[in-house]
Amino acid sequence: MTILEQARSGNITDVMKTIAHNEGVSPEQIRQAIADGNTVILNSRQPVAIGKKLITKVSASVGLYEKNDTIQGEMLKIKAALKAKTDTIMDLSVRGDIDDMRSTVLNSIDCPVGTLPLYQALHDAEEKYGSALKMTADDFFEVMEKQASEGVSFMALHCGTTMEVVKQAKEDHRIDPLVSYGGSHLIGWMIHNQCENFLFTQFDRVLSICHRYDVVLSFADGMRPGCIADSLDRPQVQEILILGNLVKRAREAGVQVMVKGPGHVPLDEIETTVKLQKKLCHDAPYFVFGCLPTDSAVSMDHISSAIGGAIASFYGADFLCIVTPAEHIGMPDADDVFTGVIASRIAAHAGDVAKGHPDAIAWDREMSVSRRELDWQHQIELSIDPETTERMWKERSSNFSSECSMCGDYCALKIVTKYLHDEREVI
Amino acid sequence: MTILEQARSGNITDVMKTIAHNEGVSPEQIRQAIADGNTVILNSRQPVAIGKKLITKVSASVGLYEKNDTIQGEMLKIKAALKAKTDTIMDLSVRGDIDDMRSTVLNSIDCPVGTLPLYQALHDAEEKYGSALKMTADDFFEVMEKQASEGVSFMALHCGTTMEVVKQAKEDHRIDPLVSYGGSHLIGWMIHNQCENFLFTQFDRVLSICHRYDVVLSFADGMRPGCIADSLDRPQVQEILILGNLVKRAREAGVQVMVKGPGHVPLDEIETTVKLQKKLCHDAPYFVFGCLPTDSAVSMDHISSAIGGAIASFYGADFLCIVTPAEHIGMPDADDVFTGVIASRIAAHAGDVAKGHPDAIAWDREMSVSRRELDWQHQIELSIDPETTERMWKERSSNFSSECSMCGDYCALKIVTKYLHDEREVI
């Protein structure tokens, strides 16, 4: 039985107990949330749950992409992502020794690993037939099953990117018609072969593999809006409608499912985007890329993404896909990945505070008390990026004679303590 | 006549015409907005307007603060802030040769300069009497008038931080009772001297100086919430109520006025914070510090602040005070100031896009078209931080043979062009 089937049968399994312990809720709450479909468990040696009322999680993507990318280089990015406390890693390799890369990742890290198996299927077809466009559906499912059997926790699949949706994108004259990398390749294949999306027509095969290996299905969005002007347009919403149906079919088949969304979304459309996605996809956990509330923050898109991600989290997004400063320019290096994870974690935490998650609120309160008490060591420990905080504090505090480096001789907090607190009787 | 009096008299002055030209609206719209009080003009060689329906502006703060701070060092920070395109500079010097610092700033830059004259008054009193606590109201007004006469455009004054408000803060048991630096010193003075706030009791003198030199009054908030838990509490709201009355008195006296607010605010309270402030302060332009939607992003508070600032801007904030990565740790260096301005400008722009400002929307659209057309030079020019974008692009693009550095050989946009656009007839 899959985790979902166990949950529906009323069984509380060991992994549910582990998750309940990590999340600070009861095992029965976790079981019920999985049974209801608003929460999924990405299973691994260090399982992670994504869903309603839980701490918002963060995912970092790496992979062999450029000709001179190496597994060693990608492992450095993973190390940076883990240091910044990402919850999961996606290996999105599109070339090179993809099998070796994936097995290295799966053997090296304990957290859940996700993949987008179409990339390897296209790469293998290019090697086998001389063109990715000659890939067959059977080729794809062979790759998918191989990856699933090796212990991949979740897979991104563009099951809802149908010909109907592609036609919508043509008719709607988007500014940036397609920016989803996997989606674009799939659509290229569909158009070239005059063939409907096999992930849609053969969805039962997708479900069968996910069921056999208890892989979480992560619907990818081929119609991800690539600019503010294209947000919440017909193709995007059409695809969500299709995915909503597929969510129901996945659940009926005993397969855990989550749905990925945006992209570029103006601030005033984030609430609608999240609520529509959750509503049409029957409360499936929402995995969001960004979102980016401006197109013009290139080289600083981790900041733009933190803005959109925080609001998305507040309105219900459960899982943030990091955006690095290199987005829209080139491939990120390890430092970019670190920065991207930290920015997304700030967004996730700000969302959790606003959602009223008790652990998030307690964390901020503890930090505030430490700040009042000038307990620098504890502030460093509690900070989202302790390493940078400690480095900056050491650099700056050496300029001060006072123990508090914030205000030097003029510390506002000391004045408050002296005048407001100690002399309470005076007023 | 002051700018406000001119506007009320129906006169469109040269500075209003300049502003109208810069903002892309009619001079009559600017005149009416000033007369209504929802917009102010910070006059200088390069005047800047802050207010409703205008592009959200950004202010960077510098000043002699540490014992070893130098005017030269502060000028480097100003240079960094201007390179990052701050709209205004605040000189918040608290020690050293404050007069020399201010005159250097006023002589060197064209944009509006703001000050917080209480700092110099306290410093002068410390030199004159051996203690800042011996400062008199007359001492303060002398400093204020000197600064106004030299061409300071706007002044931060804690006119609403009355004894009533301070008592509220005591009774409410805030976690961080006071974090406003100027506010804390003023309250220390009030408590020590058992004396009501002279900026409140002698508000007519404040207005008289602002009127004489046409300085914009920028109400500072002594009750700025210093942590999420203290947001929107009684002392904060009590102070806003008082400021609302003072806004009316300032306008009656022909003095332009804006109001400063938060601080630390959870995401779910930003809308209320902005709308309450605007409502109780009669639609006066809203100058916001941050806001910071988490307490735990220390060393990365420019990101936290960008999240809160964007949402505040969307809900109506008109002017963002930058927060640098060094906030809560120590004093910022020039790089920190640059980063803080860029982060705030991303927030401001994201807010403007969501508010539907036509220039902001056109800017993002142009960027999106440049992205689709792989026009890298134009993307660099249009980016909020062109220098970093160009540096990153040069670093990364050298790894690619293709002109597009985003996807290398696998460019999704090229696939779209090839399959979706060129072969439209095929489907």
Q: Express each pLDDT in A310-336 by its tens digit.
A: 999 999 999 999 999 999 998 999 999
Contact A294 B349 (CB under 8 A): yes
| The two three-digit tokens of residue B309, written as one number | 């600032």
Listing DSSP states for A46-85 in one string gives S-EEEETTSPPEEEEEE---STT--HHHHHHHHHHHHHTT
Q: Say how many Å lie between the first and final Cα of chain B, rounded.
A: 69
| The two three-digit tokens of residue B157, written as one number | 């004054």
pLDDT at residue B409 is higher than 60: no
Residue of B nearest to A176 (CA): B372
CA distances A296 to A303, B143, B346, Å, are 11, 43, 8
pLDDT at residue A25 is higher than 70: yes
Chain A residues in contact with B67 by the CB 8 A cut-off are 408
Q: Which of A68, A167, A299 sits opposite B399 (nearest CB)?
A: A68
Q: Express each pLDDT in A168-206 by its tens digit.
A: 888 888 888 888 888 888 998 898 888 999 999 999 999
Instruction: Give the minimum alpha-carbon distance from A395 to chain B in angstroms, rounded to a whole number.
Output: 9
Contact A385 B299 (CB under 8 A): yes
| Contact criterion met (CB below 8 Å) for A304 and A291 | no
From CA A60, how far away is CA B97, in angstroms rounded? 50
Pair type for strands B216-219 and B257-261: parallel
Q: Express each pLDDT in A379-419 by its tens digit.
A: 999 999 999 999 999 988 765 544 433 334 544 446 666 66
Q: Express each pLDDT in A57-66 by its tens digit.
A: 999 999 999 8
State pTM to two decimals. Answer: 0.94
Q: Express each pLDDT in B278-300 by its tens digit.
A: 999 999 999 999 999 999 999 99
pLDDT at residue A142 is higher than 60: yes
- Minimal CA–CA distance to A310: which of A337, A294, A295, A292? A292
- Sequence-ordered alpha helix ranges (H) in A214-333: 234-252, 267-280, 301-315
CA distances B338 to A324, A389, B342, B395, Å, are 19, 18, 6, 21
pLDDT at residue A425 is higher than 80: no
Across residues B77-93, what is the average pLDDT? 98
Residue ranges and CATH numbers for the domains of chain A are 37-355 (3.20.20.540), 359-423 (no CATH)
Q: Which of A330, A351, A368 sits opposite B267 (nearest CB)?
A: A351
Contact A383 B181 (CB under 8 A): no
**Predicted pLDDT at A35:** 98
Across residues B342-348, what is the average pLDDT? 98
**Predicted pLDDT at A418:** 62
Instruction: Give the minimum alpha-carbon distance from B299 to chain A in angstroms, rounded to a whole number.
Output: 5
Q: Is B23 left (phi over 0), alpha (psi -120 to 50) or beta?
A: alpha
Instruction: Give the minimum alpha-carbon distance from B340 to chain A in angstroms, rounded to a whole number.
Output: 11
Contact A365 B229 (CB under 8 A): yes
Q: Express each pLDDT in A369-379 by its tens digit.
A: 999 888 999 99
Residue that has been written with the tokens 């069968």 in this structure: A208
Residue of A nearest to B330 (CA): A406
pLDDT at residue B173 is higher than 60: yes
- Minimal CA–CA distance to A31: which of A5, A46, A12, A51? A12
Chain A residues in contact with B353 by the CB 8 A cut-off are 228, 266-267, 293-294
**Predicted pLDDT at A405:** 39
Q: What is the mean pLDDT of chain B?
A: 92
- Percent of chain A at pLDDT above 90? 82
Q: Say how many Å lie between the first and final Cα of chain A, rounded.
A: 69
More confident residue, A424 or A361: A361
Instruction: Give the minimum alpha-carbon distance from A267 to chain B in angstroms, rounded to a whole number.
Output: 5
Contact A364 B295 (CB under 8 A): yes
